């Protein structure tokens, strides 16, 4: 059995949304309840996240954006809401990834799951977007490099393309960004021709999925394409943008991945990054039942996939 950290704090529930918003605190409550009902809960190493320092956040975001957020309340864009405690929650969400990376570095953990909100992969250097305030995984990647992990592989299976993550690293050959996502769909980026820029060309791989794609298309992407890319890139650490809105029951998209499909994706990622730390960070997932079940499946694989 692997040593698997589960990073969570009630501070994430303080990020309040207007009534009816799909990105609600009920998502994390559903995950906790699903894991508590299973035998997995007691096998996990339960850890509190730290709060990301401003200097960590500024490795990805512009200071002008950070300053603008302080004291900001209301809609930042059409669907991204900032409440009184949102920046605090977002700082801890990024801090969870940082904490998990640090614990892997010291050898305390092999793998981790950061059960956080707000999510991060749409957040750009200079703006909040798509329910995301700080780009948790991107901040984690820069922190990991500061700790000595030179080459970072980011796998993103959220049903939406992680525009913010791609843009952060598109000219960087030390961070590989691999994404599957429904296409065309929000946010509009993620065409297969987007492969990185200048020195980072060839270090971004987008696999767009047509409406109605399901387990077989994802098995090909994660079981057949991903392993070769990871082998060639030879990363020191793997960060995963784990978005469960690719599930067939999810209300925000049109992809048909089943519970078993989720298991195959997670297992394929873990097998591709067998010898290195794997840190999963929650992104989307808006059907509370399938979200709880998908994270439970993820934790089973994190614990037992050798
Ligand atoms: Zn999403």
| pLDDT (tens digit per residue) in 57-116 | 999 999 999 999 998 999 999 999 999 999 999 999 999 999 999 999 999 999 999 999
The answer to whether 30 touches 14, Cβ cutoff 8 Å, is no
Ligand 1 center from residue 303 Cα (angstroms): 25
The answer to whether 174 touches 200, Cβ cutoff 8 Å, is no
Q: Which residues contact 103 (CB under 8 A, 6 or more apart)?
A: 5, 47, 109, 112
The catalytic site residues sit at 122
Ligand 1 center from residue 250 Cα (angstroms): 10
CA 242/CA 284 separation, integer angstroms: 7
Low-confidence ranges of the chain (pLDDT < 50): none
Ligand 1 center from residue 1 Cα (angstroms): 30
Angle at 142 between CA 17 and CA 102, to 5 degrees: 85
Q: Following DSSP, what letter does each residue of 207-235 receive, concatenated?
A: EEE-TT-BHHHHHIIIIIIHHHHHHHH--
Give the per-residue pLDDT at 141.
99
Ligand 1 center from residue 162 Cα (angstroms): 8
Give the per-residue pLDDT at 15.
98
Give the per-residue pLDDT at 191.
98
The answer to whether 118 touches 95, Cβ cutoff 8 Å, is no
Ligand 1 center from residue 159 Cα (angstroms): 5
């Amino acid at each position: 059995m692997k040593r698997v950290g589960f990073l969570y704090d009630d501070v994430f529930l303080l990020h309040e949304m207007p009534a009816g918003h799909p990105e609600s605190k009920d998502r994390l409550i559903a995950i906790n309840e699903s894991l508590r009902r299973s035998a997995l809960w007691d096998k996990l190493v339960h850890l509190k996240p730290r709060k990301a320092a401003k200097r960590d956040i500024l490795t990805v975001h512009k200071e002008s954006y950070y300053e603008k957020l302080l004291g900001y309340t209301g809609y930042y864009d059409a669907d991204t809401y900032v409440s009184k405690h949102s920046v605090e929650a977002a700082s801890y969400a990024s801090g969870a990834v940082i904490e998990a990376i640090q614990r892997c570095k010291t050898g305390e953990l092999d793998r981790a799951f950061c059960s956080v909100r707000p999510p991060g992969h749409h957040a750009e250097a200079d703006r909040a977007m798509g329910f995301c305030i700080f780009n948790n995984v991107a901040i984690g990647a820069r922190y990991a490099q500061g700790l000595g992990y030179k080459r970072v592989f980011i796998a993103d299976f959220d049903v939406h393309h992680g525009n913010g993550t791609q843009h952060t690293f598109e000219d960087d050959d030390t961070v590989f960004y691999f994404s599957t996502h429904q296409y065309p769909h929000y946010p509009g980026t993620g065409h297969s021709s987007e492969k990185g820029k200048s020195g980072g060309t060839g270090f971004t791989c987008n696999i767009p999925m047509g409406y109605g794609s399901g387990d077989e298309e994802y098995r090909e992407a994660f079981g057949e394409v991903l392993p070769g890319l990871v082998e060639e890139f030879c990363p020191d650490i793997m960060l995963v943008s784990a978005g469960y809105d690719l599930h067939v029951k999810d209300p925000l998209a049109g992809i048909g991945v089943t519970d078993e499909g989720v298991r195959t994706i997670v297992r394929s990622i873990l097998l591709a990054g067998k010898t290195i730390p794997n840190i999963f960070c929650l992104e989307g997932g808006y059907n509370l039942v399938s979200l709880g079940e998908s994270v439970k499946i993820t934790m089973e694989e994190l614990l037992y996939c050798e």
